[in-house]
Structure 1
Amino acid sequence: MTLKIALTGSIGMGKSTVAAMFVEAGIALFDADAEVRRLQSNGGALVAAIAARFPGTVVNGSVDRDLLGARVLGDRDELAALEVIVHPAVQRARAEFVEAHRDAPALLFDIPLLFETGGEMAFDKVIVVSASLEIQRDRVLARSGMTRAKFDGIIARQLPDEAKRARADFVIDTGGSLDQTRADVTRILACLGLPTGR
């Protein structure tokens, strides 16, 4: 039976870095954010539905994520309307990924809003990626187009880091060196009885 591992954590905590380390160790990855970007890009399956529900957010055949974010962040009803469009499509893509890798010993699922959407029950183990608020803020504000107001809006809709850590099977603190983070990944793989490298 394939072990299903969820990787989650708030924005700027280092999920992508940690996910890449698991991939280096031979674990196949389903990246929910990357899938959403694909579905919202030119020719993507969600472009028409988003254009119809959120007029003006599609530019040159692709969803403009900044325009869409400005429309839904801070508005619970608009965000819920977007989730009704996006979540079923991502769940279908995830099911296809699982089927394509049904013989793998383990699969990793990068899902930023795992706890917020009540999705943790679908997984055997949950890993939370964490760092201090200062490190998180510095990382996120260094991103192109990010503002303090936008950061605060994103944080407001995410479960607090402490709550995520408390619900995790494993916590990886990315506030130290990359070598420390890699050691944590290796330790978790060993704990789960999985190969620690290719």
Structure 2
Amino acid sequence: MLKIGLTGGIGAGKSEVSRLFAAHGAVIVDSDVIAREVVAPGTDGLAAVVAEFGPGVLREDGSLDRPALGAVVFADPERLKALNAIVHPLVRTRSAELEAAAAPDAVVVHDVPLLAENGLAPLFDLVVVVDAADDVRLDRLVRLRGMAEEEARARMAAQASRDGRLAIADLVIDNGGGLAELEARVAEVWAELVRRAAA
């Protein structure tokens, strides 16, 4: 089994790369998906979040109000740390379960948005960073996701710098161009990962 850490700054296109890897046959362990699962209604994770942040982070239906929680934690690094202390251990446990279920010869791609920020590179055989210039990422967040520019800049600033991410990369996927270029680069990197998994 080859364990890959896949990361990239918000707006870089990591989710698209993850989807392309899955199409090539990767086993995807998506931290964002798992992070939602572990705070779903009825979970211990959600109970812990409400105990820490109060009932104001819940929607009327009892599910987590992500925008309300985001407004609290992205404005205050200490509150973000408190949230991460609840969610990250739960995500790690679930990720380990999914990895353990993969075939021995699998390429397991852990899709981890905050891999650089949390110093997780040593946990993986290789780190793949999806990269795009900051101005390209900002444009995508505003134009494609409909974020206000100020919010997009704040989200970007809350993450590791581009240089910080590139410093931990074993392989880089440049996503500054179009989809056809991205697909070609992902295919190249996938061939390399398969070669390394076989070795």
TM-score, with length taken from structure 1: 0.91
Whether the aligned pair in 2 keeps the contact of 1:47 and 1:61 (CA below 8 Å) is no
Match of 1:70 in 2: 71
Checking the alignment, whether the CA contact within 8 Å between 1:19 and 1:29 is kept in structure 2 is yes
Alignment deviations for residues 98-137 of structure 1 (CA, whole Å, 9 cap, x no partner)? 1111424210011010010011100000111011222201
State, as a whole percentage, how many aligned pairs show the same letter.
38
**CA shift for structure 1 position 17:** 0.6
Q: What are the within-5 Å matches in structure 2 for residues 124-143 of structure 1?
A: 124-142=125-143
How many residue pairs end up in the alignment?
A: 194
Partner in structure 2 of residue 42 of structure 1: 41
CA contact (8 A) 1:8 1:114 kept: yes
Report the equivalent of 1:105: 106
CA distance in 2, matches of 1:118, 1:161: 15
Q: Counterpart of 2:42 in structure 1: which amino acid?
A: G
Are the aligned partners of 2:130 and 2:174 in contact in 1 as well (CA < 8 Å)?
yes
1:108-119 map, 5 Å: 108-119=109-120
Secondary structure of 2:38's partner?
helix
1:62 to 1:189, Cα distance in 2 relative to 1, 3 A: same
Q: How far did 1:14 drift?
A: 0.2
* Partner residue in 2 for 1:173: 174
What amino acid is aligned across from residue 50 of structure 2 in structure 1?
A: A
CA drift at 1:49: 0.9
Q: Could you tell me whether the CA contact under 8 Å between 1:41 and 1:61 is conserved in 2?
A: no
Residue 38 of structure 1: how far off its partner (Å): 2.0
Q: Secondary structure of the residue that 1:7 maps to in structure 2?
A: strand
The answer to whether the aligner puts 1:182 opposite 2:179 as a matched pair is no
Counterpart-to-counterpart distance in 2, 1:45 and 1:29: 24
- Whole-angstrom distance in 1 between the partners of 2:156 and 2:12: 12
Instruction: Structure 2: give runs of 5+ residues left out of the alignment.
Output: none
Secondary structure in structure 2 of the residue aligned to 1:193? helix
Map of 1:86 onto structure 2? 87
- Does 2:115 match 1:96? no
Distance 1:68 1:94 in 2: 23
Q: 1:144 to 1:10 in 2, by over 3 A?
A: closer
- C-alpha distance 145-52 of structure 1, shift in aligned 2 (>3 A): farther
Deviations 1:142-185 (A, max 9, x none): 35562222222212221111221232111111111212111111
Aligned-residue RMSD, C-alpha: 1.7
Q: Compute the TM-score of the two structures, normalised by the length of structure 2.
A: 0.91
**Partner Cα separation in structure 1 for residue 96 and residue 21 of structure 2:** 20
Q: C-alpha displacement at 1:80, in angstroms?
A: 0.9
Partner of 1:18: 17
Residue 47 of structure 1 contacts residue 58 of structure 1 at CA under 8 Å; is this kept in 2?
no
The one-letter code matched in structure 2 to 1:118 is: G
C-alpha separation between the residues in 1 aligned to 2:29 and 2:194? 21
Runs in 1 of length 4+ with deviation above 4 angstroms? none
Secondary structure of the residue aligned to 1:66 is helix
Report the residue type matching 1:127 in the other structure: V
